[in-house]
Structure 1
């Protein structure tokens, strides 16, 4: 059976995939978008309940649709979910939810074969925009695998109530780690374990949110500024002053990274041992692009995309949107995916040998 199919398949319908679909529609293409979840809202419904964006609404919108409400408010998780759902419904794009991409392979004609839910579609271009939530990063901490308490990742965390009264160590010093630790400290005894001192950065400078300054000054994409923003000397934590004040009370407190876990104890850098109930890993994520394993050279030995600016170093027609520091500090955020999507699609179109729609074969896998 033959179907009219687009030149472009976008994998993922979260913020990155929707931005890619928007860029495609602006270019006159009819993208086919696969989304494994039941709604085109990405991973947002699975983040912790109290999450709020670290950027204001005016800097948290996708192209073509402002974020509703006061442009200076900081949207909640549920507000982002509603925004993405509305954005998807306004796109004139074929978004197929509940369709998980199983694999991508090179096709004999130089394009790609994308298999999802038992069907294989041939296409000229693929944009991988599945983000990282499906692949939480679990660092190789000494004793972690044999720890007899509870080990959680922020991907597992929803609210503090189930952990009330417990002794908790949060590993990590970024925005989410600090926000979760402070929330937990209202119900439990909490320590932030980090390799560097916490680095607080003012949320506002001279009356403007820091994200506006980053965009105005070009620091978002300045190579020399990257060490200041990537956490090599501690991950920057945006703060109005309330986080610093709460940590100054001693719950949560911040300590240097422990040397190891031993049974149900943590061994601190000064040699002290302390029993703990929960180790919560606020250690981030890695791109969830395992479906590209069959595209030789697309991923490195750690399963990370090999790319420059979101364009594959090996395969013409293969691109990525939503990777951390893909082109700028904002690349993995609502604020940054739109510009990256337009850049990547433009590069892919220039690479394409046949930049027009075709009738392509859809067959059983």
Structure 2
């Protein structure tokens, strides 16, 4: 047995660190298990030009403001990694890495967390593994016949990867728009979206998105009409590079193609486009396979929750997977509140 603690937190990214901060403040004994060899979680694997949607002060975890990045209004991914590393060290959070969790099992009064370096017994578990490790690519006819390069968002690095080539970018969300903008100047670009791109107003950034997500959750909790939250505003935040490419007429979306061929894509009306590479900016699924032994999966692969607490296992909390585990909980600024509530509920349960 590796250890016996009050709480095991699975995942050492922003959600896991926020949970650790609040568990420490409540005086609970806990361990954070992180599968990556170094701090920074998914922020270590982003494309080169990625920047936050919000200024540093509005992208902070509880207890510690993110310092501004010199010369940047919106910090880049390297700055976020530095901030998360400092946060972990500042609060002396007990992060064990690299530790890969194989499964969580019921074991009497405990939950047993099996890992590649031994087992932990915990009176409660917070799962904070996010979605970045589970990229989703739709089953489009002909996809396996394509002779060119296929990448997902998590594998894209910079325009250098495909410069001078014919590229199809698939996806009408923020990742699709940002990567399309990244490639608009150095490739023969075809941008494909399920529907016409919906840009948020140019003056809206992460601060407003968090406010809208919070307002929606409060309305739903109070039994009022659904405000629509962030989705009612649009799909794409017009960060400066996206805005520049859009205003230059370089971001012209095509509807979704019907099938893929060895050399490109074909639409339902018979038109076609050649491609050397396809980049799938088609989202992610929650990384929850380690919770399979608990038998809690519900519709759409999610575990039913009340707030962050699993309905079928009150000793388990899920944090940072999206609005279903707390308003804007998959964001730096948004995860603090649900992390605090999860820690408080666990403290009450353990008493």
Structure 1 length normalisation: TM-score? 0.87
Q: How far apart in 1 are the matches of 2:2 and 2:42?
A: 33
Equivalent residue number for residue 131 of structure 1: 130
Q: How far apart in 2 are the matches of 1:196 and 1:219?
A: 26
Counterpart contact for 1:175–1:238, Cα < 8 Å: yes
Shift of 1:235: 5.2
CA 1:210/1:130 → structure 2, altered by over 3 Å: closer, same or farther?
A: closer
Q: Which one of 313, 321, 324 corresponds to residue 326 of structure 1?
A: 324
Unaligned runs of 5+ in 2: none
Equivalent residue number for residue 36 of structure 1: 35
Q: How far apart in 1 are the matches of 2:134 and 2:277?
A: 21
The CA deviation string for residues 151-210 of structure 1, in whole angstroms up to 9 with x for no partner, is 1100101111020111111111111211111111221011221111111112426xxx56
The CA deviation string for residues 60-101 of structure 1, in whole angstroms up to 9 with x for no partner, is 000000010269921100000000000000123321011111
CA 1:203/1:253 → structure 2, altered by over 3 Å: closer, same or farther?
A: closer
Counterpart contact for 2:28–2:347, Cα < 8 Å: no
Shift of 1:213: 7.1
Q: How far apart in 1 are the matches of 2:253 and 2:245?
A: 11
Unaligned runs of 5+ in 1: 356-365
Work out whether 1:289 is the aligned partner of 2:288. yes
Counterpart contact for 1:257–1:269, Cα < 8 Å: no
Secondary structure of 2:85's counterpart equals: helix
Shift of 1:251: 3.2
Structure 2 length normalisation: TM-score? 0.90
> Which structure 1 residue ranges, 4+ long, deviate > 6 Å from structure 2?
none
User: RMSD over aligned Cα, in angstroms?
Assistant: 2.5
Work out whether 1:344 is the aligned partner of 2:342. yes
Counterpart contact for 1:267–1:274, Cα < 8 Å: yes
Deviates more, 1:281-290 or 1:243-252: 243-252
Q: How far apart in 2 are the matches of 1:241 and 1:46?
A: 22
Deviates more, 1:114-123 or 1:60-69: 114-123
CA 1:213/1:273 → structure 2, altered by over 3 Å: closer, same or farther?
A: closer
Equivalent residue number for residue 151 of structure 1: 150
Equivalent residue number for residue 230 of structure 1: 231
Aligned residues between the structures? 345
Shift of 1:252: 3.8
CA 1:241/1:91 → structure 2, altered by over 3 Å: closer, same or farther?
A: closer
Equivalent residue number for residue 196 of structure 2: 197
